[in-house]
Structure 1
Amino acid sequence: MSFARITTLARLELTQRLRSVGWYVLLGVFVLLLIGITLLSFMVFSFQSEPNAGVYSIVVNFVLLLVVLVSPTLSGNAINGDREAATLAPVQVTAATTGDIMLGKLLAAVATGSIFLLIAVPFLLISMLGGGVTAGMLIVSLLVLLAEIIVVAAIGVGLSGLIARPLFSIATTYLAVAALVVGTLIAFGLGGTAIQSEARGYERPWDETTGEPVCDEWVEVNYNQPRFDLVWGFLAANPFVVLADATPTTFSHGYPNDLFGQVKVGVRLAQLPPEIERWDACENGWIESPTSQEQIEGTVPSWFVGLGLQALIAGGLFAGAWARTRTPARRLPPGTRIA
């Protein structure tokens, strides 16, 4: 492999994309959507007396949503699109190796996705005016967004090499992204509900005559408890969960003041197995209930697990496409165009 050949192939790919009018229309729509969501976010949080990161968290999550929606279009036909246009075979007979072609396609897809990220940076900076945002939050958010662009690009390029038809590979890339965004939530919810175990708790008994709790006694209560702690890995693989869990959280009185922290608390609690609970009606709440900040500090971050699972999926598809694109080809899908 050669770095010069990789960059040359990536530059040729980018040149073809930049010549398209639809590319600039897509950028314009992207900007208009960011303008709208930024203005609406400031309007929603205009009633807040204290600064918080609510505006920033909404804008960042919206940028991630747009990125995962746009990236499959940019990478889902990288290999089979050239096969169909009869432009892949001439490149394969040059000095460019299979690795050069694959990495060049991946670099071009990541570069096009990064253009959208660069356009979003001014809006992220503007959303920081809402307050409650540190430089660390901005840097980590950008790094996670870039990582997700690479993951989706690798999935798209991989599927474009494994599937013969561009339309099917783009649709399958969208399905793969939907599985990460929506499917992980469904798998987590259904899996945790389906797996249950018997749990034990305690509560105050109630006096039937007075209708008030008896504060000097406890009653043991047995019930079925969903075991979300056994399936939290599905939730960890969600791109939005990765973003929320990796981004530093700011707290007010022990509780998060942005969407990132609220999602992070839910993910961290999902890791914990059921414990003996005590509902004290005399005190009107759970006994010794820790704050959200204490819960986050007492659990393990899950973002690296999610990125690891995403990288495993993307790497497997990319490696499969690498083997399928290698020349001379031993076996190709029926109807695949060679030259």
Structure 2
Amino acid sequence: MKLISLDTLEPGKQLGRPIYNEKGTLLLGKGVAVTARYLRRLKEMGYSSVYIEEKGYEDIEVKDVISDRTRMEAVSTISETFESVRASDSRSDKVSLDRSKVTGVADKIVDDLTSSGDQIMDLIDLKSFDNYTFMHSVNVSVLTVLTASNVGKFTSMELRDLAMGALLSDIGKAHVPIEIVHKKGRLTPDEFARMKKHTAIGYEILLHKSNMKPLVASVALQHHEYYNGTGYPGQLAGDKIHIFSRYTALADCFDSLTSDRSYKRRLPPLVGLEYLKLGSGTHFDPVCLEQFANHVAPYPAASTVMLTTGETAVVVQNNMKNLERPKIRILNTPDGKAVEKPYELDLSAHPEFAIQSVQ
């Protein structure tokens, strides 16, 4: 399997992973040939890359940390939840939110992540402009639980609360004007001020209008607080911010940076992680950040990279003990010619080789 930009994808290539819409419905299945019409439509929807089957890449596996069924059920549930809350009168004392359905999805996320031992996020999750909000909510939940579950100090019930809080962390946006939420471009200062209210709105929806646990609601309220006290809405600092909100803040920022938006292309995971590290001790809890970075691959499998030698390679497998030194397969010489017999190198055992850039 190979991750490839749609700008360089030739029609006729077969998809290596399925593509779903914002409702969790299958659009294009694995193995489907990407026609010129499909390629044009994918670009219109906001996709910039896809996974394809490619000669020389057949044995490279790209595995999600949760099952496709769990992910798509979660996307569908969050989509329905947003629609239901959006349809509710913001002045009402209650909103229509199916707690049992959200709880069921949260349980499945926790079960998937805790039943397979130590894992890393080794997949670039591709989103369209239309499904960004819902896929983002699911990714934030997966990344926070993936990190917290490997710390080893939280119960399964606490992890479920974390999964629910992260899934619903942006639910307040359902009562922010949709033209602001879906604006194709950067927000004006006034629009941003209105967008920032989604934290307090979400807290009110979850705690007072849906009878969610205070812990679940607090994640929605606090996930934009900064570790040094300069965030919003409460300018909380350090341990005054609940640890679940500190984890969620990291996942929220990372997934946003590494996702395509209408006004920007996604950043590679390596760059997203470097951005987070620049905020260590100011925006983010340094301990939580280290724990988070230990479970996100800077060079996901199937990514094409260029070495400092000028050679081109594909990431075959990540090294859990040293994520910055994966196993790679050399494909092209520095002058761009295909290697007659591609060969593999474990960078953790070959310090003379280093990755210069991600292509």
Q: TM-score, normalised by structure 2?
A: 0.28
Q: Which has the higher helix share?
A: 1
Higher relative contact order (CA 8 A, sep 6+): 1
Q: Which has the higher strand share?
A: 2
Q: TM-score, normalised by structure 1?
A: 0.29
